[in-house]
Amino acid sequence: MFPRGTDTHGFGADFKQEVRKNQGAFIGMGGFGEVLARYENFVELDPAVKDKWGIPSLRFHYKFGDNEHRMAEDMKETAQEMFEAAGFEIVHVNSRVLTEGWSNPRTRHSAHGQRPENLGAESIRTVARRQELFVVDGSAFVNASCQNPTWTIMALCWRSCDYLADELGKGNL
């Protein structure tokens, strides 16, 4: 990733001197960008793999497209331009694009998942009501803006819980 002791070659006194020479003088930058909604990216229930309660696991079909790879290259070039303009000495550039979905476990601000264009004439609301399903996370959001959707997700969950409690009180559930 960035030059540290584990990335510096050698051993012994010369190795220690090289590591100490630049200790605390490194900066790193990484970029995240929006993955466009693509028909080929979806999740489904795995017909064979089940958890210990017999519930099917999710099977992911997900790959970056040309747009995401070009965006990653642009992020790398832009970061280098910023560092050079600031007068930094660039000692290492990592061009590796991380695995698809790498950031999802690291954040609770995820969006996307359901693709409305695959629902045909029915809206997500119609599908959710027909299946008695309440979508209270970010999977119903077609894309993400520059802000995370946490407050909207919390509002969806709160309103759904209020509705369910009201229906339970009326004896409808």
Residue type, 167: E
Q: To the nearest whole percent, how much of the chain has pLDDT over 70?
A: 72
For residue 114, what are its two tokens? Answer: 């359901």
Helix/strand/coil percent split, the chain, to 5:
40, 10, 55
**Block residue for tokens 């993400």:** 144
Residue 139 has pLDDT above 80, yes or no: no
pLDDT at 165: 95
Determine the 3-state secondary structure of 50 from DSSP: strand
Out of 19-33, 34-48, 107-121, 136-150, give the one with best mean pLDDT.
34-48
DSSP state of 99: P
Residue 135 has pLDDT above 80, yes or no: no
Residue 108 has pLDDT above 50, yes or no: no
C-alpha–C-alpha distance, residues 78 and 85, integer Å: 10
C-alpha–C-alpha distance, residues 159 and 134, integer Å: 10
pLDDT at 171: 93
Q: What is the mean pLDDT of residues 48-75?
A: 90
Confidence of residue 120 (pLDDT cuts 50, 70, 90): very low
Write phi, then psi, for 11 (nearest 5 degrees).
Answer: -160, 170
Q: Which of 107, 27, 28, 32 is nearest to 75 (CA)?
A: 32
C-alpha–C-alpha distance, residues 61 and 59, integer Å: 7
pLDDT at 76: 93
Q: What are 50's strand-pairing partners?
A: 56
pLDDT at 130: 52
